[in-house]
Structure 1
Amino acid sequence: MPSLNEPLVSIIVPVYNVESYLSPCLESIQRQSWRNLEVLMVDDGSTDGSSAVCADMAVADPRFRLLRQENAGVSAARNAALTLAGGKYLQFVDGDDRIHPQATETLVHAAEAMGADLVLSHFYRVDGERQAVRGHIKGERLLTRQEFAREMVKAPANYYYGVLWNKLYRRSIVESRGLRFEREVAWGEDFLFNLEYIRSVRLVAAVPRPLYYYIKRPGSLVSTQATLRRTIEMKRTTFDYYKDLYQDLDLYDEQKAKVYRYLISTAVDGLTLPGEGVERRGRSAAGRRAGQEG
């Protein structure tokens, strides 16, 4: 049973046609050393057995709750969960990945001990039998948002900064700013959410410990001209948000050259892991790395 002094954490899991990956994902959440959880599983109109897997977990563990919606995309799924979330903190997990048994505990302890509004960690990139640690900020550090922005500008296209799943958020900030995911954005919605959230944080804690297992898996290629045109438009929108953040933090003049490197970093196809090409995928895994991959 959770201790009375353990703040509730809402873990949001968007699900779309990931039946063969889903049980290990949900079981990794169930095994968390931090017990005071609510897990909001949102089935985005899956056509495989994903919904049944979620339903079984909801029966087995009352902390898990299944929401179903017609297929509307990963942003709509996450927004549906945000509307119902009641935790002090928010954590996001993709339905085909896994988290370390102490992931939530480590992130929450960092937030509570250091008074951080955002906590981010290193992660494992898993490709078959191969596993590598990825991250960017070295060592355990507590940064102001200006200091964090100075780190991010060094590698803005790195998953470490762009994705949701290696981070912990304060729900009070999300709600006070009315933050939600843009349903019409086909590329970069994770990063847009992060850029907006950063505007309201006071302190950011960086944890060098890898806590998330990002599972690389094959997917479909989307390469129509209409999709390409839309993706370019979204990248321009993302850059506008990115540039505005540095202007608002009075860092734009100081970091202007590095800010514009973001356009080069994403010119080929999206946010990437250091030294890698971009993986293009279909909509499975609830949009799979929305904002990082197609």
Structure 2
Amino acid sequence: MNDLPMDTPHMQPPQPAVSIIIPVYNLEQYLDATLESVERQTFADFEAIVVDDGSKDGTRAVACRHAERDPRIIVVHKENGGVARARETALGRARGRYITFLDGDDLFEPEMLQRLVEAIERSACDIVCCDYKRISSSYEAPVRSGRTGEMSGMEFLEALLCNEVWGGLWGKLYRRALFGEGIRHYPLRLWQDAAVNIQIFCHNPRVCFIDYVGYGYVQRAGSSNHSRLDFDYCRLYCETLAAELRRHDAELAGRADYFATLNTLRVYLTYLCKSRSPWVGDSALACDLRRDVARFRQEVRRHYSAVRLALLTLDRRRALRPLVVLIVTLLRWRKSLERRLSR
């Protein structure tokens, strides 16, 4: 039998090309499929860091079972602190040259990592984005960005703040250096991904898109995206992101106010599109938003249709709330029909 060196327990394995960040909380019934999709990757040079954020069910046991049979899977346990803190913990341990994210109830297609790594290594880009598909109990439907080629970080930031590109961390491969000490991980209830991406894109990285549906976004009733959207949270989120954008005002060439207006408009229209949301058209946020949209009218019109901007105007009057709800309902029906036709 060969004797191992005395310091073997302290030796680090070779640096992997990719670190996969997987935050999990009470996902026992989904995590098996998620980690199996990781293990099936045709690109094998990765580490998968699963952060169990204080789960109360059998999530931890599922993760440990996979780690026992695949040394590339690393399980970290911590007290519950939310997905932002879980990702921050994983990033502190990540060793890969590249970073990608996977939610604990979602799936990778088998060639996901291979396609993204090949794309980033043959380009001068810092981030590569792929398309994704929505997965429910009754259907699967690809969602394509319709974009190919490259964009600047400023172009991507503007598109993100207008919902023209998906703001999630998943479905992207990042160079590790983008997650420096200046990145703040806000423990927000919704849209934490966009809060991180907005900071990253303020540094104007190069972004490219590939025509490949590599990520499976599993829609489930209990996810945070289906939770109730209240106005106080919208106001908190807008204030938080406005302060973050102001922190990067120099990198944004003095245009932090414009980007903050786009973000607030995006959030406010999302609130309006929840037809049961109470009327808040006379709130300070709504009044300030109408003023700022008028200030940047020409640029805002490049990204928003006249119908959607009309919602902001109509919502000024409580008596017109029924008309706002009607328009929102028609827009929702149209979007639903488009999704069905795309399947």
Q: For this structure pair, what is the TM-score category when the shorter chain's length is used for normalisation? A: 0.7 to 0.9
Partner of 1:35: 44
User: Per-residue CA shift, 1:236-279, capped at 9, x if unaligned?
Assistant: 322454577687434949x95x873543332234999xx769xx
Report the alpha carbon displacement of residue 150 of structure 1 after superposing the two structures with TM: 4.9
Partner of 1:263: 264
1:59 to 52, 68, 74: 68
1:141 to 138, 146, 149: 149
| Counterpart secondary structure, 1:266 | helix
Partner of 1:89: 98
**Quick check: which one's strand share is greater?**
1
Report the alpha carbon displacement of residue 201 of structure 1 after superposing the two structures with TM: 4.2
2: CA distance between counterparts of 1:57 and 1:173? Answer: 29
Report the alpha carbon displacement of residue 92 of structure 1 after superposing the two structures with TM: 0.5
* Cα contact 2:234–2:267 (8 A) shared by 1: no
Report the alpha carbon displacement of residue 217 of structure 1 after superposing the two structures with TM: 0.6
2: CA distance between counterparts of 1:212 and 1:19? Answer: 20
1: CA distance between counterparts of 2:209 and 2:228? Answer: 36
Superposition TM-score, scaled by structure 2 size:
0.67
* Cα contact 2:98–2:174 (8 A) shared by 1: yes
Amino acid corresponding to residue 77 of structure 1 in structure 2: A
Tell me: CA distance 1:178–1:261, structure 2 relative to 1, closer, same or farther (3 Å): closer
How many matched pairs?
261
Aligned pairs for 1:115-134 within 5 A: 115-134=124-143
2:115 to 95, 98, 106: 106
Partner of 1:171: 176
2: CA distance between counterparts of 1:17 and 1:126? Answer: 19
2: CA distance between counterparts of 1:36 and 1:61? Answer: 12
**Quick check: which one's helix share is greater?**
2
Work out which structure has the larger RCO, using CA pairs closer than 8 Å and 6 or more positions apart in sequence: 1
Tell me: CA distance 1:235–1:90, structure 2 relative to 1, closer, same or farther (3 Å): same
* Cα contact 1:100–1:212 (8 A) shared by 2: yes
Tell me: CA distance 1:118–1:201, structure 2 relative to 1, closer, same or farther (3 Å): farther
Greater displacement, 191-200 / 35-44: 191-200
RMSD: 3.1
2:20 to 11, 17, 20: 11
* Cα contact 2:150–2:208 (8 A) shared by 1: yes
1: CA distance between counterparts of 2:332 and 2:195? Answer: 22
Tell me: CA distance 1:22–1:104, structure 2 relative to 1, closer, same or farther (3 Å): same
Tell me: CA distance 1:271–1:13, structure 2 relative to 1, closer, same or farther (3 Å): farther
* Cα contact 1:186–1:234 (8 A) shared by 2: no
Partner of 2:328: none
* Cα contact 2:134–2:141 (8 A) shared by 1: yes
Report the alpha carbon displacement of residue 51 of structure 1 after superposing the two structures with TM: 0.4
Unmatched runs of 5 consecutive residues or more in structure 2: 1-14, 275-330, 334-343
| Counterpart secondary structure, 2:179 | helix
Amino acid corresponding to residue 182 of structure 2 in structure 1: G
User: Per-residue CA shift, 1:33-81, capped at 9, x if unaligned?
Assistant: 1100101001011111110000000001000011001111111111111
2: CA distance between counterparts of 1:241 and 1:134? Answer: 29
Runs of 4+ in 1 over 6 A off after TM superposition: 243-247
User: Per-residue CA shift, 1:108-167, capped at 9, x if unaligned?
Assistant: 11111112111111110112221112133x2421222234345445x33x5x43111111
Partner of 1:71: 80
Q: What's the % identity of the aligned pairs?
A: 30
Aligned pairs for 1:202-217 within 5 A: 202-217=205-220
Partner of 1:287: none
2: CA distance between counterparts of 1:276 and 1:117? Answer: 35
2:32 to 20, 23, 32: 23
Amino acid corresponding to residue 34 of structure 1 in structure 2: F
Partner of 1:282: none
User: Per-residue CA shift, 1:173-204, capped at 9, x if unaligned?
Assistant: 212x4324123x33332111101111234311
Tell me: CA distance 1:182–1:271, structure 2 relative to 1, closer, same or farther (3 Å): farther
